[in-house]
Amino acid sequence: MAVAAFFDLDRTVTAGASTLWFGKAALAHGYYPRSQLARDAWKAFWFRMKGDAGQDTGGLRDHILSAVKGWRRSDMDVLIPEVLAPILERVYPQSWERILEHERAGVRTYLCSASPVEIVGAVARALQMSGGAIATVAAVDGDGRYTGELEGPFCYAEGKAEALRAEAARSKIDLSRSWAYSDSSSDVPMLDAVGHAVAVNPDSELRKIAEERGWEIERFEPRHGLRVVIASTSVVGVGAIATGVALGVRAIRRRP
């Protein structure tokens, strides 16, 4: 059976909240009210300081779905390059190195997040993660507009673990030999699902759980001088996305 490594996105692979950059791009294109962006910026600040422990799952789900309800799928496609660039600029060098190490060892890597699959998938492709994205899929009607409903589980807390297990069954992945990385106690179900759990920049609750269970604890930090360069773009599925990323060699310890 195959082996995989599952990475949470916000505060694990990249600093900060990816949804804030989505909101800024949507505001610039007239899709999002400025008052809502201000509220999301405040939430992103507290998310950065404290993580997402204690988030109301239903409220978070409804917030994400209501943000895009009524949009056309093509509206989202227009935003992807503008959302992708600032996210990639905030990738932790250590997380990128872990992804590279797993890929070199033949371990399939996945990016897992409650954020929309359109955004998470673009980031996963840019980081050359062979497994792709496990993320929230918003339903689209016959006219190509988001309905405000879900297609599949909401990929947060137990829902993320459910989606992970479904992918493992579909792709014949041995979870007992696989890895998972996250910063938040909300991802304990995902971390519990694998044989090698890694707490990255853990919130206080996750740190306590990791210490009790003997999980690996890592601290990933941004480095001055880190540069993320979108190496190429192509049309994949719908919309233009970045498909290659290069990090400055000084920020990454390349191993043979």
DSSP state at residue 163: H
How far apart, in whole angstroms, are the C-alpha atoms of residue 143 and residue 188?
A: 38
Separation of alpha carbons 40 and 42, rounded Å: 5
C-alpha to C-alpha distance for 152 and 49, rounded to whole angstroms: 30
Burial of residue 149 (CB within 10 Å: 0-12, 13-18, 19+) is exposed
Set 8, 52, 183, 187: catalytic member: 8
Give domain status of residue 201, yes or no. Answer: yes
* DSSP string for residues in 164-215: HHHHHHHHTB-GGG-EEEES-GGGHHHHHTSSEEEEES--HHHHHHHHHHT-
What is the span of the domain harbouring residue 236?
4-251
Q: Which helix (H) or strand (E) holds 118?
A: helix 117-126
Asked about 77 being catalytic, the answer comes back as no
Domain count along the chain: 1
Q: Within a domain: residue 129?
A: yes
Spell out the per-residue pLDDT of the chain, length 256, in tens.
Answer: 999 999 999 999 999 777 766 766 666 666 655 455 445 544 444 444 444 544 444 454 556 666 677 778 887 888 888 888 889 989 999 999 999 999 999 999 999 998 889 889 999 999 999 999 999 898 999 999 988 888 988 899 999 999 999 999 999 999 999 999 999 999 999 999 999 999 999 999 999 999 999 999 999 988 643 444 333 333 333 233 333 333 332 333 333 3
Instruction: Specify if 256 maps to a domain.
Output: no
CATH label of the domain that carries residue 67: 3.40.50.1000
Task: Give the pLDDT of residue 239.
Answer: 31
pLDDT of residue 223: 67
- 24 found inside a domain: yes
174 is a domain residue: yes
Residue 207 lies in a domain: yes
Please report whether residue 131 resides in a domain.
yes
- Please tell me the predicted confidence (pLDDT) of residue 215: 98
Catalytic residue among 10, 40, 183, 203: 10
pLDDT value at residue 177: 98
Indicate if 10 belongs to the active site. Answer: yes
The residues, ordered by sequence, that sit 6+ positions from 55 with a Cβ below 8 Å of its Cβ are 156, 186
